[in-house]
Amino acid sequence: MPEQPGKNAIEVRGVRKVFGSGEAAVAALDTVSVSIRENEFFTLLGPSGCGKTTLLRLIAGFDYPSAGEILLYGDDIALLPPFKRPVNTVFQSYALFPHMTVAQNIGFGLEMLRKPKAEVKARVAEMLKLVRMEHLASRRTSQISGGQQQRVALARALAPQPKVLLLDEPLSALDYKLRKEMQIELKRLQNQTGITFIFVTHDQEEALTMSDRIAVMSSGKILQVGSPWDIYDKPADRFVADFIGETNFLTASIAGVENGKARATLKSGATITASVADGFQPKAEATVVVRPEHAKLTKGKAELSGTVENIVYFGTDTHIHVRLDGSNDLFIVRQQNARSAGCGFEAGDKAGIAIGDDAAQVLRD
């Protein structure tokens, strides 16, 4: 999808980052290009070591790219030192200054920008209110809880009104309940301030619930960029499909690719209509993915058939593991639970798996 250059807060163009040299050289980022729009909640998602934090550090200025450009509203900032970029970071460890109070931490950036004292004071008060920490302004950072430290780190990074806010796995140190709270808090802050957020996480659920758009990364490359819906329902390749949520992989022969749709003939002989990933190169055999909740288990004949092997109860839903006839692969169907009714199947039952139109996606690899 072509994007208008003026609307992009950050544009990363062909950025490579190599650590080490000679034989020991490791490419942490392998020619990455991505555009991040103004006011967007953009997430870099991937397992550890995929290069997401490296990309964030290049945007922040803690490291410099080996090649490529990083544009901030059209200006190349790739080689500027961090203190000359209107970009602030919320660190994974928070990195609050232990020799300063909460208020001094929040005011530090403004002070360094040589803002008048009255303005700093007013802005710090405003920030304290924004993150609901007014009552702890004069505390040392060692005297407040993890969640409160998190809020201070946010307030400190937001106080100088950066053009882009970078968040490096800021919620990973919090416990589950606090994390949920902070996710909502972050969304609220982003709406309220209108600042572009670039969020790094390895937690797919966090990425899906918070982001406007997600870039899925693996081994130094961006594999797919899209809305949470795109990423979940229309994964482009095997890694994306596998990393996010649960998926069933099937092999099929593909024919009649047209308007992003194709006819896929499964090993069982059934033919289904499936959407096709961008960048799909026509070939005889391809991988088709079906999310467990998009398939339906039936008593009669359907697109696939097999034997129920295992039934796992999850409260809201039940996962039914089916051993497919022929290929002997395992296929998982997720079925919504109704009150006081079983799932209708028992281990050992013969069952059909119905895959409706538009339930399947053909991967490009």
Partner 1 sequence: MATAEEIARAADRRDIRNRWYLSAPALLTIFFAAVGPLAIVLVYSFLTPGSYGDVKWQFSPEAWVSVLFERDIFDDTLSLAGAHISIFWRSVKLAIITTLITLALGFPTAYFMATRSEKTRDLWLFLITIPFWTNLLIRTFAVLQIIRNEGIVNTVLMKLGIVSAPIQILYTDVAILIGMAYVYLPLMVLPVYASMEKLDFRLVEAGYDLYASRWQVLRRIIFPLVKPGVIAGSILVFIPAIGAYVTPSVLGGGKNMMLSNLIELQFGQGRNWPLGSALSITVMLIVMVALLVYVRNAGSQEVRHG
Interface residues with partner 1 (CB under 8 A)?
60-62, 81-83, 87-89, 91, 93, 95-101, 104, 108-109, 112-113, 140, 156-157, 160
Pairing of strands 317-324, 304-313: antiparallel
Q: Which is nearer to partner 1, 136 or 236 (CB)?
A: 136
Minimum distance of partner 1 from residue 339's CB (angstroms)? 51
Give exposure, 52-66, as e/b (b: 16+ Cβ within 10 Å). bbbbbbbbbbebebe
Helix, strand, coil share (%) of the chain residues, nearest 5:
30, 35, 35
Q: Which is nearer to partner 1, 10 or 87 (CB)?
A: 87
How far, CA to CA in Å, does 317 sit from each of 40, 249, 320, 337, 351? 33, 21, 10, 5, 18
Minimum distance of partner 1 from residue 304's CB (angstroms)? 52
Minimum distance of partner 1 from residue 249's CB (angstroms)? 41
Minimum distance of partner 1 from residue 293's CB (angstroms)? 41
**Is the Cβ–Cβ distance between 39 and 227 less than 8 Å?**
no
Q: Which is nearer to partner 1, 72 or 96 (CB)?
A: 96
Q: Which is nearer to partner 1, 98 or 348 (CB)?
A: 98
Q: Which is nearer to partner 1, 109 or 352 (CB)?
A: 109
Minimum distance of partner 1 from residue 162's CB (angstroms)? 9
What is the helix (H) or strand (E) element at residue 190, kind and residue range?
Answer: helix 176-193
- Token pair belonging to 200: 């790094």
Specify the residue for token string 């103004």. 38
Angle at 162 between CA 185 and CA 18, to 5 degrees: 100
Q: How far apart are CA 339 and CA 224, in angstroms?
A: 39
Q: Which is nearer to partner 1, 166 or 351 (CB)?
A: 166
Q: Which is nearer to partner 1, 10 or 96 (CB)?
A: 96
Q: For the chain, how big is the Rg over CA atoms in Å?
A: 24
Minimum distance of partner 1 from residue 108's CB (angstroms)? 5
What is the helix (H) or strand (E) element at residue 37, kind and residue range?
Answer: strand 26-37
Minimum distance of partner 1 from residue 109's CB (angstroms)? 4
- CA 193 to chain CA centroid, nearest Å: 21
